[in-house]
Structure 1
Amino acid sequence: METPTPDPLSGRTLHGRYVLGTRVRSGASGTVYAAQDLREERAVAVTVLHPWLMGNHGAVHAFLGRAQTLEAVAHPGLARVLAHGRDEAYVYAVAEYLRGETLAEVLGDGETLRYSPHMALSIVADVLAALDTAHRLGVVHGEIAPDKVVMDDGGRARVTGFPLLFDAAEDAGPDSRTDVRDVGVLLHRLMTGDSAVADEGRPLRPSAALPDLPPDLDMLVANATDPNPRYRPRDAGQYLTLVEQVMRSLPRTDRDREGDTRPIPVVADLPVESAAGAAGDGRSGAVPRWRRPPVLVAAGVLVLALFAAGWALVPAGGAALPDVLGSDPEAAEARLAELDLELVVAFDETYSDTEAVGSVADTTPEAGAELERGDEVMLWLSAGPQFAEVPDVVGGTENAARDALRTAGFTHIEVFQEHSAEEAPGTVLSTVPATGEEGDRAEAVTVHVSEGVIVPTLLGMGREEAGEALTGLGLVFEVAEAHHGTAPEGEVAGQTPEPGTILPEEGVVTLTVSLGPEPEDEETEEDGVGEPGEGSPSDDGGGRGEGGRGDGGRGDGGDGGDRGDDGWGNSGAASCAVAAWDGDIVYDTGDQVNYRGRVYEARWWIQGVPPTMGEEWGVWEDRGSC
């Protein structure tokens, strides 16, 4: 976040409601201002479209359309877009204003700082959980960076700065894999303190800066920052699964156990820091701060802004604290403001069986207590009942279990992996408390999941190196060889299944190893075989005897007499509506090819493996003859 500087628009009011303050930053979308919403009495952030784009109807339409789309995206870890509009010469969008420091501000530009691996993963998990909600709705961020992630006072990371316009010079807009790459770069920065970006040739590997890091952390960053988007996790949800698995297996340092969320200098040994000077957060610990309704953050900002600006002139004397139980936080604040005592109002959450979620369930001090000028009043907001029924998540995936438990109000979820001979890896085996039992929302729900092994990225490795990597993980590998237009001979040019897939122990990974480019003389020879009416006098129109390949006469050469395409006589090519299989092309889920007179559809990404070979492990689905 840039240092606020004066701006000609500061002080202007849009639609009689949003008073623009200082400029926060400027980008392709426009200029962002800290602002005040007079109607809702809260701090907001307003993005105003650049004046030179006002005459561009396409830019205006895209800006307002993107704002409208973002209004439907809601998650505690996102700065939500609240409204948009056009006031004469100004097109604008209004978003929630987040309190806290950005990661760019925390890490700074001076001393090189980094986080412990566990803390870095925790921050990235917060970011991915928020992005997962957006990706499920088909919305991408497109500009994830340290200045777009805000750390709140509870140590939680929240995402802000969704661009409302993207650079028109880009050939294609960002997608979910763009966000995954940017989060991978962020994770690399958090763990190493190095602000390097992913280059065009190789993925980032944090072990290059910190050799003692566990290899799983290298895998996480390398998978996300692979130059080829096809080899990255497909979206934030898939990458979050990998991050949480590694985080569970990672040992915690003393700093992690103490909940110290500050970055540390980049040194060989982790320094032992004194707890003195660490700011206590004063929370009850019953409910995490990230579950706080967005209006609470805005209301707190408003109160601090009012007092800091000196808007209240407070008389001497005291008054009794009114009974505000059951009130919404804005109404409770208004009643306290009427006392003219310059009270410091704070918010936190507590469980309540009687008050509605988000309303005032208790106060400190209690109603009727005598207040003096400048006293602090804590408004405890209801988070709902403390006990809830545990939903049935057994038999589903870990991600689905997390979603169901969070929907039921359980925010502390611990996952343990255990061996299962019956269930596929990643399947939920049981929960504690069990399905249907009453669970304490202040306690953790333990989810037991069938264990598995995460398939790493192997592309670009040598054959032996890739095999050793898989053997070391307890996986079995098979090798298929194929010509490849760009990968050098002996290098892994494809793998099945894709990186990030969870396999059981001794699960099979197929490596497609490059034989180098297709020899030109072989291509020429094959192009001349099987053309109609071009049979060799010596074979009398019969087959070549290898799988039925024949000349224009077609003959009865083996079992291929009725096949046609891709050098098999081409007699059926005219009836095939899809392109022939090409070993140099990377096919993704749903892509179709014709091969030896039949149509095949890819079930996930694949390269260099012909459909008849891929049938053995189900990567290609036979859709019938063409």
Structure 2
Amino acid sequence: METPTPDPHFGTTLDGRYVLGERIRSGASGSVYLAHDRAEGRTVTVTVLHPWLLTDHAAVHAFQNRAQDLSEISHPDMARILDHGRDGDRVYCVTEYVPGETLAEALGGGGLRYAPHIALGMAASLLSVLDTVHRAGLVHGDLGADQVVADGSGGARLTGFPLLFDAEEDAGPEPRSDVYAVGALLYTLMTGESAATGEGRSLRPSSVDPDLPPDLDMLVAGATDPNPRYRPRDAGQYLTLVEQVLRSLPRPPGEPGADDTRPIPVVAAAPAATAALPPAARERRPRRRRVPVLLTAGAVAAILFAVGWALVPEPEVTLPDVVGTTTDEAEARLDGLGIQLIVHYGDVYSDTVGPGEIAGTEPEVGSVLREGDEVVLSLSLGPRFTEVPDVVGGTEHEARTSLRESGFTMIEVVQEHSPDELPGTVLSTVPAAGEEGDRDAAVTVHVSEGVIVPTLLGMTEEEAATALEDLGLGASAVEEHHDTVPQGEVSTQTPEPGSILPEEGTVTFTVSAGPEPEEEEEEPSDEPEEPSEPEASDEDGGHGGDRGDGRGDGRGDGRDEGDESSCAAPWDPGTVYDRGDRVSYEGRVYESLWWIHDFSPGDSSAWGPWVDRGPC
């Protein structure tokens, strides 16, 4: 029988602080270990760079830089980077340990699924983390079900940020890669099937469960489009779409789970974490956390009574004043009383004590305590009433973020028609900006309504036009040759799937005319060439006019009747352009998709208000 080779890092202490235990996984970044932090008395995970990469200075530098960048990001649903450094020939990074069941473990071998509103809630938690990460110029890059831990209340915590990426890749991951990963995870959560079965095409949950609402198909298909260009550009944009669908989604009777839905996994204390550590790391827990103390005290009392010590009085102490102190200071004072106490924590609003500090105790300060008594320390949440931030004019997601940072957790969104504002723009709040809001009550955010653009790729022209008509959107079709898309199917669309347009907005899509026909070579002729006729001007029905999109010169595209050139009037930053207006910019013609002012065509992406109509 072959004896396994012992792990060389097991039991090692890094920088005199982190005692490495069992290796739990390996990847491109290195090996990941459960570990004990002696300074803080807690379980952490430590990633140790592979030994063969130590001589690769670029890899070491990239590892340390990535750890430093991630350590500057904080989000309640993200496993934080706590520390990083180098101890001799070991380069390491310390990460917060998140106990509980991962989604990969919860789903098991497949077939289990979550109700749509629970799956969307988890996706929203992940996208909120990724939005913070993307805003910092970073990405996750390796998100999957085994990096997500369910929090037991419908949310999720994100772990497993790689510290190195595959050097053989032509380009590293970018935000749209994370968007794809969340879309694929949504598909798995709602169908119970692996997203790998749909590689090479957009995933649609209705292909597995036809009863799922079409909005879910739109969300998943848009995020998992094989072409990254057609996905939401980042987590923030995808989060806005997920939240819109989540609000409109009917909830099944008897929630949180329907008959075909696995219950929400409950985060456990993960007792195996301590067992996986070396003996030196298994330190004794503080006395106040040893819940069986009542049983121990009872047993000791019985023994003392049996030997005639029953008349010895129990020691009594007075509860000290710990209001205004930190939790560490309060626990230190309680430990100094010389008796064993059971300490619990609660939350309370306070106008005088700062958030996170002790705002009160139960029993009250000065009360008499005996061995085994329970003490509740109430942590301050800050004032209950606080000023509502000004979020008018921003996006719905920006409003949610700002309100949450101000302490408002109950946020209700109401969509309203607005002829003046783009869809998704915050119109007002109740209470209004600057007014005192109750953090225990809801803040209502009024948002300009709009229509989510569906995915048209692969549809016929008739199917695409019908899909847009059903949503109240206009359709403009053009035809172009395409080498790979079958003739008659939609090859591209503007704006991209998942964009939000005003009511009666227009979507332009391109229908494939098949591959370009091969040009036949002309046989040389002995006859002299006839001089060619000059091309007709616009007035003679030549290149002027509508450029084949059915608009004509009467659409206000910025051209003069007598203009013989094929280019529109130059773009003017001071001019207000309406839908359908055309301008020329750097030798190309651009058409406005909606009302626009002071927005350069050169700054417009496929999601922007200008669409490129070709060269002049």
Task: Name the TM-score, length of structure 2 as normaliser.
Answer: 0.77
Structure 1 residue 58 displacement after superposition: 2.0
Q: In structure 1, what is the Cα distance between the partners aligned to 2:157 and 2:244?
A: 21
The answer for unaligned runs of 5 or more in structure 2 is 269-283, 302-313, 545-561, 568-584, 590-599
1:562–1:352 distance in 2 versus 1, CA, 3 Å: closer
Alpha-carbon displacement from aligned partner over 1:107-156 (angstroms, at most 9, x marks no partner): 333x7322211111111101100110000011100111112112235543
Q: Which amino acid aligns with 1:408?
A: S
Asked if 2 retains the 8 angstrom alpha-carbon contact of 1:6 and 1:23, the reply is no
Q: Which amino acid aligns with 1:67?
A: A
Structure 1 residue 504 displacement after superposition: 1.9
Counterpart for residue 238 of structure 1: 237
1:144–1:365 distance in 2 versus 1, CA, 3 Å: farther
- Secondary structure of the residue aligned to 2:361 is strand
Alpha-carbon displacement from aligned partner over 1:187-222 (angstroms, at most 9, x marks no partner): 111112222326442111111111101000111111
1:360–1:344 distance in 2 versus 1, CA, 3 Å: same
Counterpart for residue 69 of structure 1: 69
Q: Which amino acid aligns with 1:79?
A: A
Q: Which amino acid aligns with 1:163?
A: P
Q: In structure 2, what is the Cα distance between the partners aligned to 1:168 and 1:93?
A: 20
Counterpart for residue 532 of structure 2: 539
Counterpart for residue 138 of structure 1: 137
The answer for unaligned runs of 5 or more in structure 1 is 282-300, 529-534, 549-557, 564-591, 607-613
Bigger shift: 167-176 or 436-445? 167-176
Structure 1 residue 177 displacement after superposition: 0.5
Counterpart for residue 91 of structure 1: 91
Counterpart for residue 51 of structure 1: 51
Counterpart for residue 406 of structure 1: 404
Q: In structure 2, what is the Cα distance between the partners aligned to 1:619 and 1:519?
A: 27
Counterpart for residue 581 of structure 1: none
Q: In structure 1, what is the Cα distance between the partners aligned to 2:221 and 2:188?
A: 13
Asked if 2 retains the 8 angstrom alpha-carbon contact of 1:151 and 1:158, the reply is yes
Asked if 2 retains the 8 angstrom alpha-carbon contact of 1:393 and 1:401, the reply is yes
Asked if 1 retains the 8 angstrom alpha-carbon contact of 2:127 and 2:236, the reply is yes
Counterpart for residue 226 of structure 1: 225
Matched, 1:323 2:321: yes
Asked if 1 retains the 8 angstrom alpha-carbon contact of 2:423 and 2:449, the reply is yes
Structure 1 residue 373 displacement after superposition: 4.9
Asked if 1 retains the 8 angstrom alpha-carbon contact of 2:288 and 2:341, the reply is no
Match of 2:612 among 600, 615, 620: 620
Matched, 1:431 2:424: no
Counterpart for residue 41 of structure 2: 41
Counterpart for residue 419 of structure 1: 417
1:29–1:195 distance in 2 versus 1, CA, 3 Å: same
Q: In structure 2, what is the Cα distance between the partners aligned to 1:374 and 1:7?
A: 43
Structure 1 residue 304 displacement after superposition: 10
Note the 1:156-167 alignment, pairs <5 A. 156-167=155-166
- Secondary structure of the residue aligned to 1:512 is strand
Asked if 2 retains the 8 angstrom alpha-carbon contact of 1:425 and 1:503, the reply is yes
Note the 1:199-278 alignment, pairs <5 A. 199-256=198-255, 260=256, 266=260
Asked if 2 retains the 8 angstrom alpha-carbon contact of 1:496 and 1:511, the reply is yes
Q: Which amino acid aligns with 1:604?
A: S
Q: In structure 1, what is the Cα distance between the partners aligned to 2:201 and 2:7?
A: 42
Alpha-carbon displacement from aligned partner over 1:550-588 (angstroms, at most 9, x marks no partner): xxxxxxxx977899xxxxxxxxxxxxxxxxxxxxxxxxx
TM-align CA RMSD? 3.6
- Secondary structure of the residue aligned to 1:325 is coil
Q: In structure 2, what is the Cα distance between the partners aligned to 1:42 and 1:163?
A: 22
Matched, 1:334 2:332: yes
Asked if 2 retains the 8 angstrom alpha-carbon contact of 1:547 and 1:559, the reply is no
Note the 1:289-328 alignment, pairs <5 A. 307=290, 319-328=317-326
Q: In structure 2, what is the Cα distance between the partners aligned to 1:185 and 1:373?
A: 54
Match of 2:496 among 495, 498, 507: 498
1:51–1:338 distance in 2 versus 1, CA, 3 Å: farther
Structure 1 residue 253 displacement after superposition: 2.6
Q: In structure 1, what is the Cα distance between the partners aligned to 2:190 and 2:464?
A: 26
- Secondary structure of the residue aligned to 1:362 is strand
1:120–1:561 distance in 2 versus 1, CA, 3 Å: closer
- Secondary structure of the residue aligned to 1:470 is helix
Structure 1 residue 303 displacement after superposition: 6.1
What is the number of equivalent residue pairs in this alignment?
A: 528
Asked if 2 retains the 8 angstrom alpha-carbon contact of 1:431 and 1:448, the reply is yes
Q: In structure 2, what is the Cα distance between the partners aligned to 1:593 and 1:36?
A: 61
1:463–1:561 distance in 2 versus 1, CA, 3 Å: closer
Q: Which amino acid aligns with 2:421?
A: E
Asked if 2 retains the 8 angstrom alpha-carbon contact of 1:191 and 1:206, the reply is yes
Q: Which amino acid aligns with 2:92?
A: Y
Structure 1 residue 244 displacement after superposition: 0.1
Asked if 1 retains the 8 angstrom alpha-carbon contact of 2:29 and 2:47, the reply is yes
1:621–1:207 distance in 2 versus 1, CA, 3 Å: closer
Asked if 2 retains the 8 angstrom alpha-carbon contact of 1:602 and 1:619, the reply is no
Counterpart for residue 171 of structure 1: 170
Q: Which amino acid aligns with 2:397?
A: N
- Secondary structure of the residue aligned to 2:65 is helix
1:322–1:156 distance in 2 versus 1, CA, 3 Å: farther
Asked if 1 retains the 8 angstrom alpha-carbon contact of 2:100 and 2:267, the reply is no
Alpha-carbon displacement from aligned partner over 1:277-321 (angstroms, at most 9, x marks no partner): 99999xxxxxxxxxxxxxxxxxxx9769985999xx999766544
Asked if 2 retains the 8 angstrom alpha-carbon contact of 1:602 and 1:620, the reply is no
Q: In structure 2, what is the Cα distance between the partners aligned to 1:425 and 1:278?
A: 36
Q: Which amino acid aligns with 2:140?
A: H
Q: In structure 2, what is the Cα distance between the partners aligned to 1:154 and 1:302?
A: 28
- Secondary structure of the residue aligned to 2:196 is coil
- Percent identity reads 58
Structure 1 residue 333 displacement after superposition: 2.6
- Secondary structure of the residue aligned to 2:79 is coil
Asked if 1 retains the 8 angstrom alpha-carbon contact of 2:451 and 2:503, the reply is yes
- Secondary structure of the residue aligned to 2:508 is strand
Q: In structure 2, what is the Cα distance between the partners aligned to 1:185 and 1:419?
A: 33
Q: In structure 2, what is the Cα distance between the partners aligned to 1:174 and 1:372?
A: 59
Q: Which amino acid aligns with 1:469?
A: A
Asked if 2 retains the 8 angstrom alpha-carbon contact of 1:484 and 1:514, the reply is yes
Q: In structure 2, what is the Cα distance between the partners aligned to 1:387 and 1:330?
A: 28
- Secondary structure of the residue aligned to 1:521 is coil
Note the 1:437-516 alignment, pairs <5 A. 437-516=435-514
Q: In structure 2, what is the Cα distance between the partners aligned to 1:309 and 1:56?
A: 52
Q: In structure 2, what is the Cα distance between the partners aligned to 1:329 and 1:11?
A: 31
- Secondary structure of the residue aligned to 1:520 is coil
Asked if 1 retains the 8 angstrom alpha-carbon contact of 2:291 and 2:342, the reply is no
Q: In structure 2, what is the Cα distance between the partners aligned to 1:175 and 1:195?
A: 23
Q: Which amino acid aligns with 1:414?
A: E
Matched, 1:21 2:17: no
Structure 1 residue 36 displacement after superposition: 2.5
Asked if 2 retains the 8 angstrom alpha-carbon contact of 1:601 and 1:620, the reply is no
Task: Name the TM-score, length of structure 1 as normaliser.
Answer: 0.76
Asked if 1 retains the 8 angstrom alpha-carbon contact of 2:129 and 2:158, the reply is yes
Asked if 2 retains the 8 angstrom alpha-carbon contact of 1:198 and 1:227, the reply is no
Q: In structure 2, what is the Cα distance between the partners aligned to 1:33 and 1:53?
A: 18
> Based on CA coordinates, which of the two structures has the bigger radius of gyration?
2
